[in-house]
Structure 1
């Protein structure tokens, strides 16, 4: 279950009533059901992550706001990047955590692959800079849930509350139950987003290839170069002029058209 890291009391007085427990479970089931509908939807990755953040607020008792961060494994050092927030104050907190201070519960959750919670951020020893800073903003409780896929962490859900000691073991347990299908939804959305980006790149490549091929043909016709040497010449021109190769190729074609028109006008 959740692991406790707090500089102060992180428990709620009293015990959950059966009615409250039933209501919390209903909220969780509603959130999980909403996640299932997202997987089959047509939202882009940023929009889907924003929806996940909103569902987390409703599914986790006591939450005032939530954000979703992803681990960008293709960047140096596996950068953690905040990509969605349910409210402006969440985006502000995450900016402080990732950009300003580079410390906080989500960073710990992602790096260690475990749930992290605190009910007294102002006195939190684990994040001596982040805790007091966020406490001054009126946020005293945090719950960070890693998004786990087999063998790896892909990101985290960060949940915040204004009160102290808000996220007890019950809330953390519900959060962990929510984070499991959330990780699947986010991972599938990532795969789809990457596939769509690759499709766009391939279409772009296919659209520029005829221009490059025609330019290679012109260079070969003028100088007798082989196809490989003509392509190498295009690359060299691109590097020396700091321009895209397709732009160099288009310039060669445009110049050939101008010369052809000039010849026709002289006859």
Structure 2
């Protein structure tokens, strides 16, 4: 209300609005919602923005994080020793095995072949009949909105920390077949971004690949290949953050902060 009253005062005194340029800019910035600014930027700069999609987008679909999968596996392991309903799976594992629980190590120890590991992980990331009926572990309206932006050409690059395939499923439902890059080998073999309709960069990997990153040491660094790709994305594209806090991803934070330029805004 103070801002409105101030603007009325300028009008009452007969001062020209042209003489209050700085004031007007401040008032306009305060009045225009950031979502409106984002919409204008997307419309005017088609394909110039990349999305950074975090776990907040998949959590609403009932998808667990990699760490939650790890802790659930630890609970199941504890149950085989007669320890049911342990309050702190991480502490139990550390006390029992004298090391921190690790996603990849656990899967390798519990399941000896890749096919067994994949079958185990499917129940965490793929819906059963009841979950599908409830709309769980399937693309949410947010995933479909992302797919629509891609189909219309407003977004071509999606960076995500999520292991699931909900983004890919939403894209395919919209008729878009993305190039998915989830490890250093795929980065080396990919076409340049300029030649791609849609590229999904899964910086922490895919749930069907046991090399996914979810422990603190794993999240501190990326491969040189992934770092170089992210450097290009964050230098050449604006950035729209969706459901990502940055609290647990030091390597990704570093990639964003070391970008040499800011050609487009971040939202």
Shorter chain as denominator, the TM-score bin is under 0.3
TM-score (norm 1): 0.23
Q: Higher strand fraction: Structure 1 or Structure 2? A: 1
Q: Higher helix fraction: Structure 1 or Structure 2? A: 1
Bigger Rg, structure 1 or 2: 1
More relative contact order in 1 or in 2 (CA 8 Å, sep 6+)?
A: 2
